[in-house]
Each structure stands twice: as structure tokens, then as C-alpha cells.
Structure 1
Amino acid sequence: MKRSLMFAGVAGLALLGACQMLPADEPADAAAAEETIEEEVGVLVAEATREADRTAEAEMSETAESSDEEMDTSAADALATALDMQPDEVKARYEWRHPGETLEFFEIEPGMTVIEALPGGGWYSKILIPYLGPEGTLIGAHYPDEIWMLILPNATEERVDGILKRLETWKETAQGWFGDAGASVFDYKMTHMSPEKKEAADAVLFIRALHNLNRTEGELRTLSQTIDETYRILKPGGIVGVVQHRASEDTPDEWADGNAGYLKTSFVVDAFETAGFVLEESSEINANPADDAGPGDIVWRLAPSFATTEEGTPEREAMAAIGESDRMTLRFRKPE
């Protein structure tokens, strides 16, 4: 055996003995133990130990990098699979909704606990559930019951009751989409989460969901309460992902208040920063410059609603040519 390797072996045994006597979470004591080893074994042993440590650190760094690459590849494959299994009518919307790029931008990965605001019929849920996988959790956050009479056009009690009855079975329906092959599914009503629930989620996604919350802010404080609730239930370092119909900054505030479907980026950023979130990055993934909306326009004039035009008319063709709405894409983070 080479002399340097023999010294390294002696140092390793001595350090192992010291570490076994000390709790792993006491770095000050561990440092003292290393100094004692130096004194007892000698300078040559200490030099050999440091060389061995450097080698081990380099090997660990290479292993960690390789592991990260494997994890990234695995997540990318899982996302590609989840996207590919969707029906053609959903895939046809990828051109405008960019779900793969959006979820990557929001740093969503398999195994996470993700809250999705306004999951509805499951357009994004049906991508998230298989992507998050059996180790992950998807929590649907429905609008509070009292919002529906205020935001539905020509709302009736019968229509609202129908919505609320469907929401009662949303969890079971969503869990049945993929069964044990997908994430566990739960749900709750916004602004009604128990105050005892906190720091449980890795990410919260608001995908085209904020405008209605702001429409009832005056009566119900739905937007501000939801953002405060989001801060509470996110883990430190957790992510908020926002995709929202975007109004130009030069449009009137009274038009860009959500009633037409649009909000200003500055308004959204201010709302989340006021609650304590940090805007980490914005993206133009979901931008559409052809949607130059302003007073008199509503987002529902565009695909897929086409609410203001009749099929087969030049007006409908003009709306179809625009495509879907121009959207901001923002990633916020809760400070550690």
C-alpha cells in the first residue's frame, strides 16, 4: 500500500470515529473534532485527509450533476408523456396555451403538491395529474360559492345550484381520470381553507383565474383574501404561477378591472408583492400581439368562446384570425 493511501485510511477511520460520537447537525463540534484529529495523527495525515476530502467532494459533485441531469430528463419525459396522452381537441390548443413550456417555466416537477385555481373541467388538471404522478398531489381550488351569482351573466339560482352540485363531486371525478397512475386529488373553496392549514403546497397556479376574483373584490374581497391565503398555504420558497389575460398598461384602469377579462401586469404584480411575494421572472410564452384589446372589447369575443359573433360571419373570421388572448406569464416566489 502506498504511504499516502495508508495515511488517508488512518485519517478516515479517525474522522469516522469522531463523527459517530457527534450529532450530525452540530457543525461547530464537528470542526473541533477535525482539529483534534490533526493534532493526534499529525500533519501528514491531515494533508492526506484534505486530499481525500477534495477527491470525495469532486466525485460527489459529479454524481450530483449526473443525478440532476437524470431528474431533468425524467421530468421532461413525464411532461411529454402527459401532453401526448391528451385528446386532439386539447392538443389543438397547445399553439395558444403552451402548457409544456408554461409548466417548465413555473418549475413544476413530478412529486410536487400543486394547487390549481379554478380547475373547472380539467383542461390543465388532466395534464397535471399524470405529470405529477403517484407521488404528487393536485389540489383544486374552486371559487367560493358566493362569487357565482356575481360573475355569471344572467345568473339564476338554478344555474348556480347546478355548478355547486358539480363541484361537490369534482374531486372524485378528477381522481377517476387516471386512478392510481396519477397524482392524488383533493379540493377546497378559495378563502375558506382552514387557518390551521399552512405551508403545505409547493406551487399554486392561477391560470386565467384572477380576473373573476378581482371582479368581486369590492363586494367579497375575493382577490386579496385568496392571495393572502395562497401565501399562508405555500411552503417557504414555494412558487406562484400566473397566466392571465393582459391589458396594455395604457388602457383605462376602469376597463382593465377584470370585468372584460383583462388585467394589467402592473396591477397583478402589485397585488402579489403587497402580500409578500417576490416577482422572480416574467415570460412572453403566452403572448399574442394580435390581441390589441381596449375599451369596448371583452376577452370572450375571442376563441374559444366567440361570444360576440355568429358562426360563418366576417366578424367571426376576424376574431378567429386573432387567435386566443394576449397573456402575461409571471412566476412569483414566497421568500424562504
Structure 2
Amino acid sequence: MRHLLMTSAVALALSGCATSHMPASTDSYALTTVTSPVQLTEYAHRDDSARARDEYRHPQQTLSFFELSPEQTVVEIWPGGGWYTDILAPYLRDQGQLIAAHWHPESPVGFFKRLRGQFEDDFLTQPELYGNIQLTVLEPPKHLTLAADNSADRVLTFRNVHNWMRNGQEQAVFNAAFAALKPGGLFGVVEHRAPNSFSREQMVDSGYVSEDYVIELATAAGFELVGRSEVNANALDNKDHPKGVWTLPPSLRLGDKDKAKYLAIGESDRMTLKFRKPECDSRTDGCQW
């Protein structure tokens, strides 16, 4: 098991995350003020390699922006190896429910199958730490049900939109997120951020997606944009790298070539967007759920 045994409860020191990669100005963004910050405690089980990425992923601030609370039902789409699961599952363990919309256990894609198996080994064998994580299957276009319709308080995805674009399934996944959410529920999206001038082909090739395109997908699914945050911005990332976003850490696709340069940049510049599924008013003809 890659997780260390949990020792004494300690506070996760995220409130002091580095801000050196934040842009000098955010005047063009409608930043949302967090009024009920998420308090992440008892995370002694997280290993050093996981904690090292807090500087770029800002989990406490990000989850606060998405207005998480411990009694909610939360869907995490394509958790991969479980970096965010390692935080979400203990947070929701006692009062809430985490649903991991993962790949199929018998996926024809070998990488998907292996990572799904590793996820089960890591997170389903320690219920005292992670609780009762429910698993659903997302492999579009065949499997597109994240959770029961109108059942989730939050649906979250971290750096996945570019993956769905490779097979032309991005709109289908956004539609599935809309279906899973309760009316009034929130869809939180963190994604590598491209300039809005990037073509779809450039986005697929580079792994960077424009904010305009993500908002277009969400709007087409029925969502309304209710907030943007620059908490995961990185002004040092110019989005022009030989191997796209994978040139930067943690992938470092070029190996030792210019490694110091890319380590100095850090992880990618990211958008952090919050969408709401509109409330259903049964008195109107427009209520379809």
C-alpha cells in the first residue's frame, strides 16, 4: 500500500500555500469570495510526494471555492490514482458520500484497467480511513452514468476535459454531470488553461483547454457559470512547450532535458470554474427534471 498508516491527527498546512505563481492582476475575473472555508484535518496519512503538490493544487482553497461540506454526496470524475480522493474520502467519510466515477474494471485500455485496480487496492481496503466509497463507471460513449439522476450535491473534475476531447466525448460527460446533480448542485472544473485563441486541435495536442470552450460545454449541458477563481493560476506557464502540458511537472515528458527550467515553472496554469445546475421550478413548463 502506498499510503502511510495514520498516526496522530494533524492539521493539513494548506492555508499558507505558496502564492508566487499567482498572476499580478485578476481584474478580468469575477472572483468568488469563500464564506465557509473547508477545514481539512487529520491527514497524517498523506505521503510526502502527495503533499509536495499542494503548492500547485491548493486543495483546501479549491474545495472551499466549490463550497464543499462534509455531509454532501460528491462525485469525483476520473480520479485516476486518487490524489484528490485521498483528501475527499476522509473528509466525507462520517457524514457524506464519495462516488468515484472511474474506468471500467475490465477496460480494454490496459492503462485504465491497471489504474482502476490500483485505486481499488488503495482506497477500498481501508474503510476506517476512507469510508464506503462507491464506484461507478465512466467510459464514454458506452458508460455515461456518474450517479443516479438528481442525486449528487457536487460533481468535481480535476484536469480531465482534455482527455475527453481526444475521443470527442467532452459534451457527453458534461451532460452526464448535469444529469447526476441535484437542482442547485455545483459542478467544479479544474483544467489546464489554454489561451482562448487555441483551436480545438491545439487543445487536444497540448492538453490545454480554453476557458471559453469549457464554459461553452457547460452552458450547452444546461449549467450556469457562477464563479471563477485564480487559486490554481500559474503566471510562469506560457503554454508553449515541446510536449504540451506534459512537459511540465509532474510528467516531465522530456526527462532530464531542461528539467531545471520546467521545475522552476512548476505545474500548469489552471482555470478553476464553478457551475450550477439551475433550481427546478415545478410551476414552469421549463422544469424537465
1:163 partner letter: F
Q: Do the aligned partners of residues 110 and 331 (structure 1) sit closer, same or farther apart at CA in structure 2, a change above 3 Å counting?
A: same
Does the C-alpha gap of structure 1 residues 309 and 182 become closer, same or farther in structure 2, counting only changes over 3 Å? Answer: closer
Instruction: Give the superposition deviation at 1:265.
Output: 0.4
Picking from 87, 96, 99, the partner of 1:136 is: 96
Q: Given that residues 136 and 184 in structure 1 are in contact (C-alpha distance below 8 angstroms), is that contact kept between their aligned partners in structure 2?
A: no
Counting aligned pairs with the same residue, the percent is 37
Aligned-residue offset at 1:309: 3.4
**In 1, Cα distance between the equivalents of 2:151 and 2:60?**
24
- CA drift at 1:223: 1.2
Per the alignment, residue 236 of structure 2 pairs with: 290
> Secondary structure at 2:225's aligned position in 1?
strand
Corresponding position of 1:305: 251
Residue equivalent to 1:46: none
For residues 295 and 169 of structure 1, the distance between their equivalents in structure 2, rounded to whole angstroms, comes to: 31
Equivalents in 1 of 2:207, 2:134: separation in Å? 28
- For structure 1, which segment, 247-256 or 297-306, has the greater mean C-alpha deviation from structure 2 after superposition? 247-256
Q: TM-score, normalised by structure 2?
A: 0.76
Q: Is the 8 A contact 1:255 1:295 kept in 2?
A: no
Match of 2:73 in 1: 113
Q: Which residue of 2 aligns with 1:30?
A: none
User: TM (normalized to structure 1)?
Assistant: 0.66
Aligned-residue offset at 1:127:
0.4
Q: CA 1:211 to 1:98, structure 2 compared with 1: closer, same or farther past 3 Å?
A: same
**In structure 2, what is the equivalent of residue 124 of structure 1?**
84
Q: Structure 2: how far apart are the matches of 1:169 and 1:309?
A: 25
SS of equivalent residue, structure 2 residue 61? helix
Q: Quick check: 2:152–2:181 contact (8 Å CA) kept in 1? A: yes
For residues 195-234 of structure 1, the aligned pairs below 5 Å read: 197-217=148-168, 222-234=169-181
CA–CA separation in structure 1 for the residues paired with 2:146 and 2:164: 20
Q: Using CA pairs below 8 Å that are at least 6 residues apart, which structure has the higher relative contact order?
A: 2
Q: Which structure: larger Rg?
A: 1
Give the alignment's Cα RMSD to 1 decimal: 2.6
Deviation string for 1:171-214 (max 9, x for gaps)? 4642324x134442111222425599311111111101111001
Q: Which residue among 25, 32, 41 is the counterpart of 1:80?
A: 41
- In 2, distance between residues paired with 1:297 and 1:80? 37
**2:264 alignment partner, one of 321, 331, 335:** 321
CA contact (8 A) 2:74 2:154 kept: yes
Using the TM superposition, give the Cα deviation of residue 252 of structure 1 relative to its aligned residue in structure 2, in angstroms.
Answer: 3.9
On the 8 A contact 1:116/1:140 being kept in 2, the answer is: yes
2:282 pairs with 1:335: no
Q: Which has the higher helix share?
A: 1
